[in-house]
Structure formats: structure tokens, C-alpha cells
Amino acid sequence: MATKSGNATALTVLSPIKNGAIGETSFADITRERCMRLPIHEQSPLTKVPNTYLARLFILDDVFYESLPANDSIFNFSDITSIFFDSARKKALPRKDHLKSKYLVFSSNFHGDLDAYLTGMWEKWSYIDNKGVQRDVRHIWEHCVAFDKVTDCAGFIAYIKKCQFEASLFFNGSTDDSLQEQLKALYLKQEFTQFAMEHQGKSAVEIQQDFKAFIARVQPENLIAPTWPPGKSTP
Amino acid sequence: MSNIAGKAYAMNVITPIRWYTTWTNKLFFKAATLLPSTLKGLQTLSLIHYARWVIIPRNGFPHLDSSQPREDLHYAYMLFFSNFNGSWDQYVDSFTFAIPSGLDLFWKWNIRYPKSVPLTPFHNYIRHNQIDTAHYYNAYPMAASNDVKSAQKIKKALIRFNTESSDKSPEDFLQDYYRLLNDLQHHFGDMKPTPIVSLSSYEVKKRYEQTRF
Amino acid sequence: MTKDLDLTDIQGNIIKAYGAYNYQKARYLFLRINNGDKGRKFVAAITTKVTTGVSWNKSGAGPAVEKPMATTNIAFTYVGLKALELPTASLRGFPEDFMMGMAKRKDILGDDGPSDPENWDNIWKERVHIWMSINAQNTEALIERYNWVVQQVEASGGGVTLLTGHRGDAGEDDLPYQEASVLYDEAGNPTPKEHFGYTDGIGDPVFEGQTNLSARVPGRGKLMRDGSWAPLATGEFLLGHVDEAMEYPKTAPSPTLLSRNGTYMVYRKLHENVGTFNHFLDEQSKSFPGSKEMLAAKFAGRWRDNGAPIVKAPDDASKAEWDKAFEAADFAEQKRMLTDFTYNDDIHGAKCPYSAHLRRINPRGSLEYGVTGAYETPGALDDRRRILRRGLPYGSVKDATRDDGNHGIIFMALNVDIQRQFEFVQQQWINYANDFKEGNDKEVLLGNHDARHPGKVVLQVEPGSGKPPHFINNIPRLVETRGGDYFFIPSITALKLIAAGMVDPT
């Protein structure tokens, strides 16, 4: 189950990438390049996945070795045992860990139900890649382990659920409204600020009249339009 | 392409934790959600859209097929994802200066975590364990977390005002209108593109825009 | 805990704002080094007259030194230190911002449009290596010291060039120095004013190691949870000392003797569009519910005539009260009235707006937004964004309806970390406002307002009062950058090492 904070949901997915290559380019590097070359802002495929607030993709190549200074304020038994056995000192050094596969990491913050969101990913994720070809979500997950067995939406949902993690803490520093609500609200904030500024010092009659026209134009309760499109990056 | 999308920065940090302390971490996280005071500092900072901590147990990495080798790890891993406003420096600094004890609560059991004060070892710890984002999507690049929250207040207030006041007499309307503006006076900031917090990211983005067909 | 500073080792301009010590006149010189060996000899010669931070005519502890008629100080750009042939290993230890220089950082600083480096004084098209300041109590002393410096330049036999290219009063653009001076009133008395009419130079940060701390620290140090003030860590302003993050500043190059007791200086020539400002103030005050002076105070955070903080005197009536108390107060109490305040009783900005210059450059405890205990201390987000301000106005206003006269401020900010301190305030707090929950609304006076897409600010009012906030819109660019760079101010020890070619980080 993905983690929720009110109606905001945190989806964390780690999908193992197949070891191996096409020619001399590993599956991981192919996947990485496809992610890095995804178009951004208004052209990102995530604009089409409904209710996505903020989301990211990256490749986890390996875990890091903690070659950092020891912390002198936590007591370790090895502080005592190393006096007697040098092997104790060596054992107290951080261990080297390595991952045997690389992972495609997808982390999304969105509004609403997980299944609906994953359905949106399968059905709506769409963009034009840097070679001009139309692509869907499979282009990113193509080289993940066992993804070739995913042929339909139900299969995709099941696949992602096998790869996902609960969050121990999901901190919501924003709102948990639907994306449409958020975008509409941002549009209204922009428009009403402008209105308030332009009508400073005007008469009651004029403000009231203009306000009614303003409401008719911006339609506060109409979430479809007019509003900000997802990923809008310029004024 | 970059860790930055408009006004938001995507930070990804992965750190090993002793596998037997995963339960203490989960306990602290649970406590944090139950005790609002722990998060008071984070909320007042108001820099974050959404952030999460995820713990992957030692044997927890997904294994989807026999062809995939099983992971064999000494440690469990903590993932931290944040979507925040401002530069990397401002964000990490604000934790060290404003809420150092809160940070220590969450990260304490991580291997070689240096405590959040002094600053440079903590900076180094985050940098050392940070992974760059390949694709970062922000549904509202021109809106900081503060703007999204402001916008919610404006929308609610505007709809209520329209219902209650737009058909009153002009004098009454005006009084209500002034009261509305007074209530919303902290929410009228302009929303335009972000200041350039990183010259190198700025250059990358310029080149990207030039090469898009 | 606190250790006295080695005042004999620290250059005087770091310790003192000379303008407050009756040094009414100044010249700023910029030089290029053409030959490393001769350049070092020049630095050695200048060092014999470099003013240190020792107290003047103090009776009691410490060396007492006669107050000089003129002071001299010296600093270097990164390329200047290279020209003096500092070793690569030392050069590599300098921070990136200093190495790039201010012109290349224009995108961070918002120096665009009229402030773009292409519009700067000609001198900034030269390779600037050395900055020197002469501050003098009168013009004779100024010229005497200046002539002495020119002599040293000539004695270098071409090793050092005094660069020309400063704009002047009579329309020249090739002067060999930048002149600056306090402004005088009609009676010829020196005033602390600048060309927009504001009283400047109030309130410098106070840090550990300075003298007379308890008298100076209220309002100027860091704000503690119990409402008292403590001095800031020395390492916020001097390299080689522990800073607020409990470590030695990482912007210090090797070896220690090169960096200890030094600091970085941001030098900016800021032209003031006096005509535009006066017109803007006049126009805006027509619709503003308060006097014109009150509006001017809302822009700056202080009243123009005597610098009264608007958070303590939020309107015309309370200003009159404040003035009475100020008149009756003794010198120490006056200083306290000017600097010892917080915004704790003004969380909503109804007294001092969030867009006011004073509140933007130093929000004191107000970034906690009244949520007591949210942070370690109320000033936690502010303590590491402080700068020492030095400088003087330059030029004079002959026609207050025009912008194109020669008038502005030579502004210098001293700090250990240009990027974290000066650049942060400039970029995040002056030219942007998310920390103040004001989106992209720039600070009125210094913001790099865009003529094509003019911005606005909101002047907040008492919540629940039923009064609407007041919008100030179509804000023009009031201040333009006309030049500047980033400099390293070495200690006296470091100066001697540099001059002797003995800097060695091995």
C-alpha cells in the first residue's frame, strides 16, 4: 500500500533493471538516458498522468560505502574490545555493500487512490522523445526485470505493487487537494491579485460591477477551465 | 535532466542503517506523526512541498524473477526524498540552524551520521549519499509550497465571498470586499519563474531549450 | 569563551565604519599588477601605511594609537592574487564566488538590464587586481594620502598601474579614482544621509571579540529565545575564527596565515535614480492612506529624517511621539532606540511591511512567524545572513527631477562567505520573497524591477481591522549597479607574507 497523508499519496517504486546490454550499452544506461532525455515541464509525460503533484525518476546504480568520519558520541563496544583485539577495530568499520542489480526508482506525490493513479500511468503517460517518436510508460520500464510479461493495465498495476514501498514518514508541507483544485487555485490567486491591485481606490459600484464580470470570467468553481495547465513554466 | 524543476529541488538520499535498528527508526517516525510539535519546525520553515522517508529492509529489495540475482546486504537502507524550495545550500542550512534536534531524531541510527551541527560534516554526509535525479516533474514550476497553500486559501475565500457578498448593496459589498482583502493580505505574492539558484543548472537548461526540436 | 581580537592584525575597515569616526571623504582606487615582483614590492610599500583595527586614543588597556587624518586599506581580486604569484595550491582554496568575480555572477545577483556589466563604468572593463581605500577627515588629508599612493605607483616603474575609467561629476568617464563623501546639509554640516533622503549607516552586526559588547549588542547581535541579544560568532565576519555553525569557515584558503583575520568584501557602485524615486514617491503617496514620509518609511523600514524604525513608530502620530522621546534621550539611549527592536509585535507586517528594505535584509526573529519554539532560536534563519556594511554616498544631486546626474552609493559588504551571506540576501531576500511568503515580489528600493513586467508589493495592515492592504504597483528600478567586484581583505600578517612572496601551503 502506498502511504497517505490525507488525500495525498506517496508512491515509492524500485524496479530492478535487467543485467545485460544491447551491444555495448547496458540496459541500465539505456534506461537512464531515456529518463534524462524526457522532456520537461509542459512536455513531461507526467502532465498527462492525472493528479501528479511532483514526481521523479532516477537510476540507483549501487549503494554508497560510508567512507565518512566515525561518530565519536555514540558509544560502541568496539571502543573497548579494540583495545584488546585489532580485529575488533577492523570489524567496527562500515561494511561494504553492493547491489547485484540496478534499480529504476520512481517516486511520485499525487492525489487520490493508488489503483486509479497506476491506471493513469498505464493509459495516459505519453510524450514525444528526443528523436520525435511518440512514447508511453513502457519505454521507461521496458528493460526492467519481468516487465516484458506486463501486457495490460492489470498486469502493470500488479507489477508496480510488487516494486513499491511504504513510507515510514510522509510529510505533507503543502495541501492534499486534487491537482485540478491546486492548479485552479493558483490561477485564481494570480488573477485575483491582479484584480485587487487594479481596483485599488475605485468606487464601490465600480468594484462590485467589475467583480461580477471577474467571477464570470475566471469561474472559480469550474476546475476544467480557465486554469493553469500542469507543468506551466512561464507566466 | 536536473534536480531542479522551476522553484522545486528534488533531493534523493540513500543511507545504510543497521538492520536491527530499523524498528527504532520506524518508532521515531511514528512518534513524529503523533506528536505535532516534532514537525512544528518543518511546517514553519514552509520550504517543503512533500517529503518522505522509506526504509528498505535488508531483504526488501524487490525480486521479480529467478533470472534476477537476490540481493545480499549487510545493511537495511533508508531512502529520503524531498521536494523543497530554494537552493540545496539554503535547504540543508535551514535544517542545521533551525531544527538540528529534529534531524538527529530521524537520522541518528544511520551509519556514520555525523549529527547536524557543525555544518560541513553534515553537508558532506548529505552530498556523499545523494543521488541525482534523471527526470523531475513539477506540476507548478512557478509556485513555491507557500504559493500552493496561499492559493488554496484564496480560492476558498473567493468562492465564499462571491456567494455571500456579491449581491449586497454596494456599500456593504465594499466593506466585505475590504475585509476579504485584509484576510488575504499575505497571499498576494506574484508567481513568476524562479531566481537562478545554480549557474550550472541554468546553463544545462539553456542548452536543453536550444536543442529541443 | 570570547577572545579579544588581534586588532593589530586586522585591517581597520573591517573593524570600523570610518564614516562614523568623522572620516567624511573617501577615494577608492583600483590598480592592475603588471609584474609579480614589482607588484609585491608595491604591496610591501603600501602595507607600511595600512590602517589596522586598533582603537584610537583609548585610555586604558591595549595599544593606543593616534587617530590618523587619513586611513588606507587594501584588498585583492582573485586575478590580483594570481598576478602576485600566490601558489596554485593556495589559489585553489578560495571560494568559487570570489574566483569568478562579481560580473560573472550577474545572473545570481540580478544585475540585468540597466545594471548589466555592459553598462558599468569603463574601469570594470579593465583587469582589476587591487582595491585601495583612502578615508580622510578632510580634503587636504585625502589628497595628501592619494599623492603618496600615486608616488608608490610611480616608484614601481610600471610594475603597477593605477586604472582609470570612473565616471565623475562633470560627465567624465576616465577618472583615476572613485570619489565618495558624506552628504552635507544647507549649513555645511555632515549628515548620515544618502541621495533618496534616507538616514543610512545605522545598525552594524556585533560579533564576539569586539569591545563594549553589552552596550552595542541589542538589536545588532543574534536574537535568543528569551528575548536577549548575544554577539554573533566572530567567524561570520573574520576567517580563521569559529562561526555560527560551530566550525571554521570553509572559504578560508591555505595556509592559515594567509586567511586568518581576513575577510571578503563585496564592492558595488550603486547609482540612484533620484528623479524616478522622487516622482514614484510623489505619485504613490497620492493614493496612500498616510503621509508621504510615512510611505517613504514603509519602503525602507525607517523614517527618512532620523532613521526611526517604523516598527516602533508605525504612523505619523506615533512618529511624533518617538521623536519627542528621541530628542530627550542621551546619546546611548538614542542608539538603543534606533537599533534595539524586534518584529515580534508585528507578525503581520502592519507596522513594518515584509517588503521593507530593513525587514528584507535583516528579518531578525520574524521568520519564525510567531510560532514560538519552532526553531532553535528565533533568529536561526537570519544569523548567518548578516553582513558588515561599509561605504559612503558619492556625487551630488543637482536636479532632483532627473536620473542622469552623478549620484549614488559606494556600497561594501564584508563577510566570510559571499555566496551564503551577501549573495543570498541579494538574490533570495531582495530580488525574491518566498521566505517572506510574498512570492516574487521584490524589495522596493533595491530590487531589480523589470520595466517590461513591473512588479508590486503589498503593504500589510492590522488583521481583522476591516481595512484593505495597500498595493504599491509598477515599481520602477530605483537603483542600478554601475560596477564592482569581489575582493579579499587580508590581515596584516597575510599582507606581509604576500608582499614577501612567502605564501606557502605545504
Strands (E), C188-262: 190-191, 222-223, 229-230
Residue at B58 is within a domain = yes
3-state class percentages of chain C: helix first, strand second, coil last, to nearest 5: 30, 20, 50
Residue at B72 is within a domain = yes
Strand partners, C457: C472
Instruction: Please give the C-alpha separations between residue A86 and each of A102, B18, B22, B112, B137, in angstroms, as whole numbers.
Output: 35, 22, 29, 20, 50
Domain span at B22: 4-131
Share the mean pLDDT of chain A: 93
Closest CA to B153 of C459, A50, A177: A177
- pLDDT tens for A87-128 read 777 777 788 899 999 999 999 999 999 999 999 999 999 999
Nine-digit cell string for A197: 491591485
Please tell me whether residue C268 adopts helix, strand or coil conformation.
Answer: strand
Per-residue pLDDT tens digits of chain B, which is 213 residues long: 789 999 999 999 999 988 777 777 778 777 776 666 667 888 899 999 999 999 999 999 999 999 999 999 999 999 999 999 999 999 988 888 888 777 777 777 788 888 777 788 888 989 999 999 999 999 999 999 999 999 999 999 999 999 999 999 999 999 999 999 999 999 999 999 988 878 888 888 888 877 664
Check CB contact under 8 Å for A171 and B51.
yes
Distance in angstroms (rounded) separating the CA atoms of residues C392 and C251: 27
Asked if B162 and B81 sit in the same domain, the reply is no
Residue at B140 is within a domain = no
Contact at 8 Å (CB) between C301 and C352?
yes
**For residue C398, what pLDDT is reported?**
93
Peptide bond into C255 cis (omega under 30): yes
Asked if B155 and B71 sit in the same domain, the reply is no
Cell 501486457, residue located: A151
Residue at B107 is within a domain = yes
Check CB contact under 8 Å for B97 and C384.
yes
Q: Output the pTM of the full model.
A: 0.94
- pLDDT tens for A127-146 read 999 899 999 999 999 999 99
pLDDT category at A77 given cuts 50, 70, 90 is confident
Nine-digit cell string for C77: 581580486
Residue at B50 is within a domain = yes
Check CB contact under 8 Å for A56 and B136.
yes
If 0-12 CB within 10 Å is exposed, 13-18 middle and 19+ buried, where does residue C185 land? exposed
Q: Is the pLDDT of residue A218 over 80?
A: yes
Q: Tell me if chain B has a CB within 8 Å of the CB of C469.
A: yes
Asked if B54 and B81 sit in the same domain, the reply is yes
Please tell me whether residue A108 adopts helix, strand or coil conformation.
Answer: strand
If 0-12 CB within 10 Å is exposed, 13-18 middle and 19+ buried, where does residue B50 land? buried
Q: Tell me if chain B has a CB within 8 Å of the CB of C369.
A: yes
Distance in angstroms (rounded) separating the CA atoms of residues C385 and C482: 24
In chain C, domain spans: 12-269+483-500, 271-378+432-480
Closest CA to C434 of B155, B84, A110, B139: B84
B115: which chain A residues are within 8 Å (Cβ-Cβ)?
71, 73
User: What is the CB neighbour count within 10 angstroms for residue A153?
Assistant: 15
Asked if B150 and B54 sit in the same domain, the reply is no
Per-residue pLDDT tens digits of chain C, which is 506 residues long: 457 899 999 999 999 999 989 999 999 999 999 999 999 999 999 999 999 999 886 655 556 688 999 999 999 999 999 999 999 999 999 999 999 999 999 999 999 999 999 999 999 999 999 999 999 999 999 999 999 999 999 999 999 999 999 999 888 899 999 999 999 999 999 999 999 999 998 989 999 998 888 889 999 999 999 999 999 999 999 999 999 998 999 999 999 999 999 999 999 999 999 999 999 999 999 999 999 999 999 999 999 999 999 999 999 999 999 999 999 999 999 999 999 999 999 999 999 999 999 999 999 999 999 999 899 899 999 999 999 999 999 999 999 999 999 999 999 999 999 999 999 999 999 999 999 999 999 999 999 999 999 999 999 999 999 999 999 999 999 999 999 999 999 999 999 999 999 999 88
Helix boundaries (H) for C287-402: 292-300, 316-328, 331-339, 357-361
Residue at B194 is within a domain = no
Closest CA to C458 of C448, C445, C444, C447: C444
Q: Is the pLDDT of residue A82 over 80?
A: no
Closest CA to C149 of C135, C128, C168: C135
Residue at B138 is within a domain = no
Residue at B99 is within a domain = yes
Q: Check which CATH number belongs to the domain holding B54 and give it.
A: 3.30.70
Contact at 8 Å (CB) between C469 and B182?
yes
Nine-digit cell string for A159: 507489477
Q: How many residues are present in chain A?
A: 235
Distance in angstroms (rounded) separating the CA atoms of residues B94 and A215: 40
Distance of CA C100 to the CA centre of its chain: 20
Check CB contact under 8 Å for B63 and A16.
yes
Residue C219 backbone zone (phi > 0: left; psi -120 to 50: alpha; other: beta): left
Closest chain B residue to the Cα of A44, Cα to Cα: B137
Number of domains in chain B: 2
Q: Tell me if chain B has a CB within 8 Å of the CB of C60.
A: no
Provide the 8-state DSSP code for C425: I
C468: which chain A residues are within 8 Å (Cβ-Cβ)?
196, 200
Asked if B122 and B159 sit in the same domain, the reply is no
**For residue A160, what pLDDT is reported?**
98
Distance in angstroms (rounded) separating the CA atoms of residues C392 and C272: 13
Strand partners, C392: C410
B10: which chain A residues are within 8 Å (Cβ-Cβ)?
54, 56
Nearest beta carbon to residue B137 from set A18, A54, A208: A54
Nearest beta carbon to residue C469 from set B118, B177, B185: B185
Distance in angstroms (rounded) separating the CA atoms of residues C56 and A120: 75
In chain A, domain spans: 3-63+98-165, 179-218
Strand partners, B8: B5, B85
Asked if B118 and B14 sit in the same domain, the reply is yes
Distance in angstroms (rounded) separating the CA atoms of residues B78 and B54: 6
